[in-house]
């Protein structure tokens, strides 16, 4: 009986060695396959990255000397920082506005900052039901235009909504 126990022990250890060797071979085959596929794909990735860099360089060049940006002193437009706040009701809903102001004369940064703070304070007081639908959005635009007219004392001729998102 002692011989049978040692014979079974050798079979078990021999099976374990074969399993380890099999796993090592499969690991090497997998690594080699991954390396081969990586070499086949990497030239396409490199060329795509180079094309994207070329597009970015062209866009930068165009921005410097090409078409003017919407907000600059030449056209008297000031792009305000995005206004992000939660609504008064329901308070778990958020609103994000991006607004640009068109000044009658040269832009005044102090007035623009005061208007930004006034819009932020106003947005915190409205509810979702007040701005639902196209009519609600029009009321919001009219209210903000009225606040801007009061704050700027006629120096801002137009309020332009760039984005309006409710989450």
Task: Report pLDDT for 72.
Answer: 61
* Over residues 27-55, mean pLDDT: 78
Give yes or no for residue 146 having a pLDDT over 90: yes
Q: What is the mean pLDDT of residues 139-162?
A: 92
Query: How far, in Å, CA of 98 to CA of 79, rounded?
Result: 8
Given a cut of 80, whether residue 56 has pLDDT beyond it is no
> Do residues 143 and 97 make contact, with C-beta atoms less than 8 angstroms apart?
no
DSSP per-residue letters across 1-61: -HHHHHHHHHHHHHHHHHHHHHHHHHHHHHHHHHHHHHHHHHHHHHHHHHHHHHHHHHHHH
* pLDDT higher than 70, residue 6: no
Comparing 84 with 50, which gets the higher pLDDT? 84
Question: Quick check: 11 pLDDT over 80?
Answer: no
pTM of the model: 0.57
Average pLDDT score over residue span 41-63? 69
Q: Indicate whether 121 pLDDT > 90.
A: yes
The set of residues, in sequence order, having a beta carbon less than 8 Å from that of 11 and lying 6+ positions away, is none
pLDDT, mean of residues 41-64? 69
- Residue 78 neighbours by CB under 8 Å, 6+ apart: 71, 100, 101, 103, 107, 109, 112
Q: Which of 117, 123, 121 is nearest to 89 (CA)?
A: 123
Per-residue model confidence as pLDDT tens digits over 101-119: 999 988 888 999 999 999 9
pLDDT score for 37: 82
């Amino acid at each position: 009986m002692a011989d049978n126990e040692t014979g079974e022990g050798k079979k078990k250890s021999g099976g374990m060695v074969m399993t380890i060797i099999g796993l090592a071979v499969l690991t090497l085959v997998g690594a080699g396959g991954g390396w081969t596929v990586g070499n086949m794909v990497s030239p396409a990735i490199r060329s795509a990255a180079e094309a994207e860099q070329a597009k970015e360089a062209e866009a930068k060049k165009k921005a410097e000397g090409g078409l003017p940006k919407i907000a600059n002193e030449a056209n008297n437009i000031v792009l305000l920082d995005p206004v992000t706040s939660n609504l008064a009701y329901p308070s778990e809903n958020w609103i994000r506005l991006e607004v640009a102001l068109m000044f009658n004369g040269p832009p005044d940064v102090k007035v623009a900052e005061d208007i930004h703070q006034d819009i932020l304070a106003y947005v915190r007081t409205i509810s979702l039901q007040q701005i639902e639908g196209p009519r609600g959005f029009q009321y919001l635009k009219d209210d903000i235009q009225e606040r801007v007219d009061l704050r700027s004392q006629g120096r801002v001729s137009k309020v332009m909504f760039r984005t309006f998102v409710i989450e």
